[in-house]
Amino acid sequence: MSQHVQVDAPRWTVLKFGGSSVSSRERWDNIGRIAAERAGEGRVLVVVSALSGVTNELQAIAGGVADARERVAGLVQRHCVFCTELGLLAEEVIGERLQVLRGLLDDPRANVRSLDWQAEVLAQGELLSSTLGAAYLRSRGLDFGWCDARDWLLARMLPNQSAWARRLSVSCHERSDADWRERFDAQPAPMLLTQGFIAAHPDGGSAVLGRGGSDTSAAYFGALLDARQVEIWTDVPGMFSADPREVPQARLLSRLDYAEAQEITTTGAKVLHPRSIAPCRDARVPIVIMDTAHPELAGTRIDREGQMVPGVKAVSQRNGIVLVSMESTGMWQQVGFLADVFELFKKHGLSVDLIGSSETNVTVSLDPGCTLVDGDVIASLSEDLSQVCGLKVIAPCAAITLVGLGMRSLLHRLSDIWDTFGRERVHLISQSSNDLNLTFVVDEAQAHGMIPKLHAALIAGGAMPVEDERVFGPSWTDLQGTASMRPPRWWENERQRRNLLERAALGTPAYAYHLPTVRARARSLKAVGGVDRCFYAVKANSHTEILRALVAEGFGLECVSQAELEHVFTAVPGLPPEQVLFTPSFAPIGEYRAALQRGVTTTLDNVEILERWPETFAGHRGWLRLDLGRGEGHHDKVKTGGKRSKFGLPLDRLEAFMASARRVGFVVDGLHCHLGSGVDSPAHWRQVLLELCGIAQSLGGIRSLDIGGGLPVPYRAEDAPFDVAAWEASLVAVREQYPDFELVIEPGRYLVAESGVLLARATQVVDKQGVRRVGLDVGMNALLRPTLYDAWHDVVNLDRGHGEAAEDDATGLFDVVGPICESGDVFGRSRRLPADTAPDDVMLLADAGAYGMSMANTYNLRPLPREDVLDD
């Protein structure tokens, strides 16, 4: 394309929406409202990604997985179900596109998985989402047109690119001529919808833009159209000075220059892909990052007017870094040594990120987020490099980066920060030549907890302030409205504190459970409209008194083992079988037989169990647990959906399961789905319920829909309690649409976590090279969650004040550890406690009522804690 020509035409606004923003009816309604508002300022182009998780499935299919046909069937069903949710007829709207998707498996190119065939496969996700989205928006009365991005974006063939990059990770032309603009403007609809991620290849086929392609597509369109601005709509309200999940006090970056934004995205921020900035920068088109769920928030604006004032704007961390350290006395003044070395990295397809060098050593980092770094590749590289130098591979590491203007001039003000890094093992320090970032590479295990410290010292603490309010906006906590919203906990009043001290005098460690708190949580859920039956997940805490209290509040009990089944029927005499669920995972077949013989509702989640033991299930009724292809939650280890999860039947096996059930004589009258724990968005359960309703309608004969549990708990002071009212509203809206199904929930942690505390005594207080540690007489054997999930539990010294102590001269930072002979035996790092904390002080670990005692063990032959129940 030739040089851009300014055309006298209405200005365009480009809006990009990602996978999470196009995967529910509610979000498409938001897209429609936002587009209609922008249409008042000119013409609108909406660029969309595929539905969440679809591109991952298409990548697997393009990669030649054995079950490709089953995966395609699952994608077909998911899009058909979504069409039903949108009130569309799938065959009319996307029937032809689904035929294309199916037909790609029979394409002769599939046998060799040619790159052009792979690109066609990968393109189908955006083509499907944009087609059904345009149809839905038109059905809502909006004047939307649809266009194929491959008619407008043309891939550029760059020198020295691999054949793979020229098809599956392309760059595009970003300057238009008058003819291009005239043709684009001639499309009649005032609002257009197109695809991200895809472009035309010069040979006429499809090409894809690679990771973050939808962001980059929007930037290309913005540059080609000389747009008023490009808006990237996502699930957060902009870029922040740190990851808000780790640093709730992280500040919104209200306005940035392109260069600083480039550094922040390149060094860890995931909200915007780094490749999307250059096209807009060169065309002088502003980029604005906005929150789809909260369009009223201003977001982050990136343009040439961004305030390039000195100071640290952001701190970030990238894990999984691999360091390759090359040592050779022969490299000094050896011409071409580095060229020879880097040629070997190129040979193995490895991109070098950071570089540090001396007369006899060159150390480089490899970022697995940008290149394929696995054991085989590293072994092959090592074999080649060993021919020219000594080699050491250091992994896993973390790269911690400070971003801001004028890092050189600010080095003298980093003295307090050197102390932080001085206690860690720093392998590499890299300062950018543009004076915008400073990066430290340390062992990944040592990096834990450093980002909050650095943010507190450099940004929140004002050690290196950027005072201009046009740079820093409100904190994440302020935006979420969660500042100081967690109400006082039951043990924080003086009477209960004395009571707990008396309990500790009887011996520690000991758990204490407050039954009024359990009852209050149960009643809050029983009052939720739209929910027909509530079950308690016994695995969270199986104490007899808690089970009886919850059954008295009208809860059933959900079990995952035969031992739990036997326990609940013993603990609650006369408990009717219909008040018990059995939802095992890979349990011995005898446990299923025992559950069915007791008459409890039993859940299956795979076809193989029916095929291997048909006689066990013949003549019985039960539920089917589904995996909707994705997992969510506060930690990877609590995500219970997606290919890597052992839970649930994938949608592409649903037809096979139902056929096998019919052959066996097993009647499926309920669907179950639990995708993870600690999910704080009501939209999550709404979406799960909508998908289950669609599937249930297609199957017929389904009476019950179980959306699982996983409701979050406010473990930290800045955490807001779960918004039960908003959750209720999201469920009621779906129930009004699908009134014929019974809605079931099965929370565990939400009911009991806040009721329990773990009492312990301090054993020793030790200072080791500036790190103060307080040891307890209880360890990870009694409360495994911090070790297993990096979970937070407040730590309180009951003898010297209760509640996390405020920062003053009478407090200090302590790592809180246990007596177990494992490095992971740590309850918390850098916790603020009274400075005079001493051996024999009574310590409290808060919110430990769920998955505490139920996971406890006698590792190191440490005894189990005592359990006390408080009923006042």
Q: Render the burial of 344-368: b for 16+ CB within 10 Å, e for the rest.
A: bbeebebebbbebeeeebbbbbbbe
Q: Render the burial of 532-549: b for 16+ CB within 10 Å, e for the rest.
A: ebbbbbbbbbbbeebbbb
Contacts of 150 (CB under 8 A, 6+ apart): 123, 198, 199, 200, 206
321: β partners: 397
HSE-up of 91 (CA within 13 Å, CB side)?
Answer: 0
**Which residue matches tokens 């207080």?**
765
Contacts of 36 (CB under 8 A, 6+ apart): 142, 191
SS3 296: coil
Q: Distance between CA 699 and CA 680 in Å, rounded?
A: 30
704: β partners: 670, 742
Task: Write out the H or E segment, with its range, that includes residue 533.
Answer: strand 533-537
User: 49 is written with which tokens?
Assistant: 């990604």
Q: Distance between CA 378 and CA 394 in Å, rounded?
A: 11
Residue 284 DSSP one-character state: T
The amino acid present at 654, given as its one-letter code, is L
Strands 352-357 and 361-366: antiparallel
Please, are residues 392 and 361 in contact by the beta-carbon 8 Å criterion?
no
Please, are residues 155 and 73 in contact by the beta-carbon 8 Å criterion?
no
Q: Distance between CA 816 and CA 827 in Å, rounded?
A: 5
Please, are residues 362 and 326 in contact by the beta-carbon 8 Å criterion?
yes
User: 798 is written with which tokens?
Assistant: 């009951």
User: 33 is written with which tokens?
Assistant: 């409202």
What are the two backbone dihedrals, phi and then psi, of residue 234, each rounded to the nearest 5 degrees? -140, -165
SS3 561: coil
Q: Distance between CA 805 and CA 837 in Å, rounded?
A: 12
Residues marked active site are found at 821
Q: Distance between CA 506 and CA 237 in Å, rounded?
A: 50
Give 738-796 as a 3 state SS string. Answer: CCCCEEEECCCHHHHHHHEEEEEEEEEEEEECCEEEEEECCCCCCCCHHHHHCCCCCEE
Residue 202 DSSP one-character state: T
Based on C-alpha coordinates, what's the Rg of the chain?
29
Count of all residues that appear for the chain in the document:
872
Q: Distance between CA 679 and CA 681 in Å, rounded?
A: 6
DSSP assignments along 441-505, one per residue: EEEHHHHTTHHHHHHIIIIIT-SS----TTTEEEEHHHHHT-TT-SPPPGGGSHHHHHHHHHHHH
Neighbours of 52 (CB within 10 A): 20
Q: Distance between CA 125 and CA 691 in Å, rounded?
A: 18
Please, are residues 830 and 813 in contact by the beta-carbon 8 Å criterion?
yes
Q: Distance between CA 831 and CA 452 in Å, rounded?
A: 12
Dihedral, CA of residue 567, residue 569, residue 571 and residue 575, to nearest 10: 150
Strands 621-627 and 649-650: parallel
Q: Distance between CA 783 and CA 844 in Å, rounded?
A: 12
Please, are residues 854 and 867 in contact by the beta-carbon 8 Å criterion?
no
